[in-house]
Amino acid sequence: MPENNPPHAWYALRRTLPTWSFEENLAELIQVLPRYRIDELIVKVDTEEFTHGQPPLQWIRNYQPRLHRLRREMEQLGIRYSLNPWITLGHNDRGRDATRQLSGLRPMVGHDGTRCTCCACPLCEVWRAHVEAVWTLYAATAPSVIWIEDDIRTFNHSPVRYGCFCTEHLRRFSERVGAAVDREELVAAILQPGTPHPWRSEWLDLQAAIMVETAGFLARVVHRTAPDTRIGLMSSGPRTHCLEGRQWDRFAAALADGQMLYSRPPLGNYSEGSLRGLYYSHDSIKITRHCLPAGTIEQTEVENVPFTRYSKSTRFTFLQLAVSFAYGSHGVTMNLYDHCGTPMEDEPHYGRMLAERKPFLEALASRAQQSGPFRGVSLLFDQQASYHRHLPPGADYGTLVADGATVMQLLETHGLPTTYDAEPVAAATGQQLRACTDAEITTLLDGGLLLDGTAAAVLHERGFGAQIGLQAINPAVHLDTLGAFAAEEFFNPDFGGRPGAFMTLTLPDLGGRPSLCVAELQPGARPISRIVDPDAQPSHVAMYAFENDRGGRVAVHLLDLDSAFGTAFNHPFRNTQLHHVVDWLWRGRTPLRVTGDGVYPLAFRRDGDRHSLLGLFNLSLDSWPDVEMHLSDSRQLDHVEQLDVAGRWGPCQQLLVTTADDRHVLRIGTPVAFDQPLFITVNWA
C-alpha cells in the first residue's frame, strides 16, 4: 500500500468489469496492467450507467465469485486488489425505484420536499439491513481497501439537493429541541436572514452525529468479516461538507475503526475544461488533508467523465497526476475508462502515458512526500462555518457553503502560494471570520492580514474597526447603486502603482458589476487604489493598508471579492499590486513569490530540514520564457537541483542566483510549458 514506501508514485486504477464482458476485461487487465505500471486495481461494482441503484443482494452473491477471482489474479501479478462499491446511500435515482425491491425503504427527502426513489436515508433500518448483507459479501473478498463513495453525505442526492428532512430526521430533531417541528418550519429557521436561528446549529449537530454513527456502522460491517481491510473515504470538499456540519475528526475516527484511514480528495476537472481548474485541484488536496488526522493515506481522484480523449487529453491527465504528487499525495486513483466493458486498449494512449511518465512522477513524489510545511499566505477554514454565516433574505440552502475559495485562487493566480498551516500572514474574505473567537482574531491582527470588504465589515461589527484602520464601513452593495463608476485606479507608488493605472470595474466578467463596501478610514490608513468615475475623477477608496497599534499590518480591498473575482479582475497592474501588498504584510519576508514573463502560475514551496522543494505549473497555453522565484530564508543556499523530463534530479540549467538580506532570487531561463511543470530543490548549507 502507498505508505511512503516505494513506489512513491502509486498508481491505483479503478475499473468496472460488467458481467457480459468480464472474461475479456479480465484478460486485458492481466495483460496490460504491468505494462501500464499499475500498482493497485480498485474494482468498481454495479456502476454508473448499468447500476441497479441499491444493488440487489442476489446480484452481488452471483458477482462475488468474480471478485475472489480478481483478487487471486492480481496477487499473481503482484498488484493489490481493492474494492469500490459505487454507492452507499446513493448518488442519484436515474429512474430507478429501490422501494420496489426493498419493501419499507425510506428514501431521502429534500429541504424543499423533493423525494428520492433510490437514495436512502442513513437512518432507514431497511437500508441498513440491506447494506450490511451486501457489504459483508464485499468484505469476504478481503480487499486491501474498500472505498466509501462521497454519497455518504446529506446533500446532492439527485433529485434531492439538500437533505434529509424525512419523518425520522424530523422526529429526532423535534426530540432534540423539545417541540414538534415540521420541515417547512425547520428550513425557514435554518435559512433565517441575519443572525442565525439557534435551530441551525442544532440541525447541523444532529446531521453530524448521524453521519458519524453511519460511518462507524459501515466500518464495523467491513471489519467484522475482514479485520485487516482499510476503509477509504471519497469526500466532496470540506467547504461543501459544512452544509451538513461534518465533524471531521469524529467522522474519520469512526470510519477508520482503529485502522489507518485512506482519503480520496476530489480533483474536479472531470472533463478537461480550462487548465485553471487545477487551482481547485491543488486546493482540494490541501484543505482535505488539513481536516483529516495525521497519518491518513492520501490517494487523489483523477477522473475522466464521460471518458475517452473527447473528454480529457492525456496531457491534462498527466498534469492532474503531477499536481497530486507535487503536493505530497501518496498515490492517485484513476477512473479513466468507461463502465460499459469497452476495452482499455481501444484507446491505448492513457496507458502509454502512465508508463512513460512514471519515472518522472516517482522522482517528484520521492521529494514531495518528505515531511515539512507548505509555505505561503495562510488560509482559514472552520468546519463550523455554516453555523455562523449570516444569510440575506431569500437565501438558498447552498448559501451555507463556507467562504475561502475566492481568496485562494486570487493569490495563487498571481504567483503567491497559500497554505492551511499557520503563518505570520493570513487572508480572509466573506464571512470566514464569523467563526473565529475574539482571541483568534486578535492573534491574526498581531501579524499580517489580507481582507476583502465583507470580511472587514465583519471585523468592524465585532469591534475591531480601530485595529483594521476603519472608522466606519457600510455593508457591500452593488456598485451601480452608488453612482456611475468606471475603474479602479492603482495610484500609490509605494505599492507599485502610478496615477492613471486603471483596472476595469466590469467584474467579474463582461456581464457583471461587483459590490463595494464604502468606508471611512482611520488616520494613518494609506489608500493604495481608488474608484474613479467616467471622467477619471476619484471617489471611494478601493484598497488601503494600515499598521495598527499592536504592530500588526492589515490590507483591505473594499470590494466584496466573491462578487468581483474572475478573469477580468486579473491584470498586470493587479499582479504588481498584490505582490507589493503581500510582501508589505510579510515585512519583506515572503516565503515565495513567483514572477516572470507569464500568467496563471500555480506555485508552491515545501520546506524540509535541509532543503526546500519548489514547483511551478504553468496554467496558460503560452510558455513562460523565464521565471523568477523570490525566496526569503536566513539559511545559506548551497546548490540547486532541477527535475528533468526523464525523472532525474541534476544541476539546474540556465540558473542565476542573487542573494541580499536573506532574500534569494532564482532566475531560471529555461522555458516552462504548460505540459512540463518546473520542479526545483534548493539545498541549504
| 503 and 618 together in one domain | no
Strands (E), 525-565: 526-532, 538-547, 553-557
pTM comes to: 0.97
Q: Is residue 400 domain-shared with residue 465, that is, in the same domain?
A: yes
Contact status, residue 605 vs residue 614, Cβ threshold 8 Å = yes
Domain at 659, CATH number: 2.60.40.1180
- Does the residue 3 lie in any domain? no
Res 259: pLDDT: 95
Both 326 and 315 in one domain: the answer is yes
CA quadruple 116, 122, 125, 130: dihedral sign: positive
Select from 153, 167, 150 the least CA-distant residue to 115: 167
CATH number of the domain that residue 386 is part of:
3.40.50
| Res 6: pLDDT | 62
Does 238 fall in a domain? yes
Residues 555 and 516 placed together within one structural domain of the fold = yes
The fraction of the chain above a pLDDT of 70, given in percent, is: 99
pLDDT tens for residues 134-148?
Answer: 999 999 999 999 999
- Of 571, 590, 609, the residue that ends a domain is 590
Q: Which of 368, 398, 416 represents a domain boundary (last residue)?
A: 368
My answer on whether 326 and 404 are in the same domain is no
Assess if residue 272 is contained within a domain.
yes
- 602 lies in the same domain as 565: no
Whether 402 is covered by a domain: the verdict is: yes
User: With 0-12 CB in 10 A as exposed, 13-18 as middle and 19+ as buried, what is 410?
Assistant: buried
Residue 586, in any domain of the structure: yes
Same domain, yes or no, for 451 and 537?
yes
pLDDT along the chain (685 residues), means of 10: 70 98 98 98 96 96 98 98 97 95 96 97 98 98 97 95 96 98 98 98 98 98 98 97 97 97 97 96 98 97 94 97 98 97 96 98 96 96 98 96 97 98 98 98 98 98 98 98 98 98 96 97 98 97 97 98 97 98 98 97 96 98 95 94 96 90 94 97 94
Q: What per-residue string of b and e applies to 254-289 under the rule 16 or more CB within 10 Å gives b?
A: bbbbebebbbbbbbbbbebeebbbbbbbbbbbbbbb
Provide the domain count of the chain.
3
pLDDT of the residue at 3: 57
Is residue 302 in a domain? yes
What residue ranges in 210-275 does DSSP mark as E strands? Answer: 230-234, 262-264
Domain region containing 660: 593-684
Helix, coil or strand: residue 299: strand
Those residues whose C-beta lies under 8 Å from the C-beta of residue 101, and which sit 6 or more positions away, are 54, 56
Give the Cα separation of 323 and 308 in Å (integer): 21
Q: Do 582 and 654 belong together in one domain?
A: no
pLDDT in tens, 448-473: 999 999 999 999 999 999 999 999 99
Distances (CA, A) of 33 to 9, 20, 73, 107: 15, 21, 11, 39
Task: Let me know whether 580 and 456 are in one domain.
Answer: yes
In the structure grid, which three cell numbers stand for residue 499, read together?
496615477
Give the pLDDT of residue 241. Answer: 97
Cβ proximity of 339 and 48 under 8 Å: yes
User: Is 271 domain-assigned?
Assistant: yes
- Whether residue 503 sits in one domain with residue 580: yes
Residues 537 and 599 in one domain: no
- Could you tell me the CATH number of the domain that includes residue 22? 3.20.20.80
In the listed set 559, 590, 621, which residue is the last one of a domain according to the structure?
590
Q: How many CB atoms lie within 10 A of CB 44?
A: 19
> Are residue 416 and residue 490 in the same domain, yes or no?
yes
C-alpha cell at 650: 541534476
Q: Domain for residue 462, yes or no?
A: yes
409: exposed, middle or buried (Cβ count in 10 Å: 0-12, 13-18, 19+): buried
